[in-house]
Amino acid sequence: MSPDVPDLRRLRQFIAIADVGSVTAAATSLHISQQALSSSMQQLEKDLSATLFRREGRRLTLTRAGELLLTEGRTLLAAAQTVATRVQHSAHGTAEMFVVGHTPALSGSEAYARLEPAIYAFPDTSFTFRQLYPDQLADAVLDGSVHLGLRRGVVPTNELATAILGYDRVRLAVPREHQLAVRPVVDIHELAGERIALWAPPGSSYYSDFLIGACRRAGFEPEYVVSRVQGAATVAAPLTTGAVTFVTTPPGPAMDGRVVVTELEPPLLVGAQAMWQRHTSSAVREVLLTQP
């Protein structure tokens, strides 16, 4: 017999218990009796034909089935909240707002360019762009406050749905006084011995890992410095670090001519990855995903 679909109220209660590891503490936070909460969890386990908790001393821990329900349950509750909000907007005739979040690795103009087809396709929809750091962006997409997130690289995740919207060519930005500034094209092998500016250390950023990996494939271990100015345009990094940096900015002068962007060979492409809440639909998103 197939298990029943979990009741959203019981699912929210289950997550509260999983978060604190105690029925007593969860009951207090939920303002219900311990007995009522225990009975609710027994019914949830019965509905799903699965044991969700095991007791270890005075603390409850999750079984393998419980861990799966916790991960999927958070996503399902977030999607349910998103659906409820959209229904309320529709019922009251209020304009729908589509919030786009992007990491600093994508400039505001690059994010706009990715969304432009949908902006023209839905003239009655209001679009808002927000710049967020990668961990903040993922959390905002999960809780539904951002409808579509954009970030660099291809980051694996089980909590969010993802797709690549396109690829951008990586170029090199250098200070105007740098010896490479007069070169229209720079081979990546020539960066051996140069300091390279990053926005996060390798191991904490998939984009940094991608860039460091490109250097290693070229046969050298890069010397890098993490920019002390975060959230600004990536092409500004050479000004505060004195280092060269990888950008997706068009070639030519930048930052009032104080920085020069030159082509990088061999061609290096980096993806613009979109991410969104699973279990949700969006006509705006579909326009973006069906672009050639």
The reported pTM is 0.75
- What does the pLDDT look like over 140-190, one tens digit per residue? 998 888 999 999 977 777 788 999 999 999 999 999 999 999 999 999 999
- What does the pLDDT look like over 4-48, one tens digit per residue? 677 888 988 998 999 888 898 999 999 999 999 999 989 989 989
Please state, for a pLDDT cut of 70, what percent of the chain lies above it. Answer: 95
pLDDT of residue 124: 86
Sorted by where each begins, the domain ranges of the chain are 8-78, 90-161+272-290, 166-270
Q: What is the arithmetic mean of pLDDT over 217-242?
A: 93
pLDDT of residue 78: 78
Given a cut of 90, whether residue 3 has pLDDT beyond it is no
Rg, Å, the chain Cα set = 24
Q: What is the arithmetic mean of pLDDT over 63-84?
A: 82
Q: Which residue has the tokens 């749905």?
A: 161
CATH class of 166-270: alpha beta
Separation of alpha carbons 227 and 234, rounded Å: 9
| Confidence class for position 52, pLDDT limits 50, 70, 90 | very high
| Confidence class for position 94, pLDDT limits 50, 70, 90 | low
- Tokens at residue 209, please? 């890992």
Separation of alpha carbons 163 and 130, rounded Å: 19
Q: What integer best gives the mean pLDDT of the chain?
A: 89
- CATH fold of the domain at 8-78: Arc Repressor Mutant, subunit A (1.10.10)
Separation of alpha carbons 212 and 210, rounded Å: 6
Q: 71 — phi, psi (to 5°)?
A: -65, -50
Residues 6+ apart with CB under 8 A from 145: 99
pLDDT of residue 287: 94
**Residue 278: burial class (beta carbons within 10 Å; 0-12, 13-18, 19+):** middle
In this structure, the strands spanning 148-152 and 269-277 are: antiparallel
Q: Do domains 90-161+272-290 and 166-270 have the same CATH topology?
A: yes
Closest alpha carbon to 186 in 145, 244, 230, 131: 244
Given a cut of 70, whether residue 77 has pLDDT beyond it is yes
Q: What is the arithmetic mean of pLDDT over 210-227?
A: 95
Given a cut of 80, whether residue 91 has pLDDT beyond it is no
Higher per-residue pLDDT: 16 or 94:
16
| CATH code that applies to domain 90-161+272-290 | 3.40.190.10
pLDDT of residue 80: 76
Separation of alpha carbons 122 and 111, rounded Å: 17
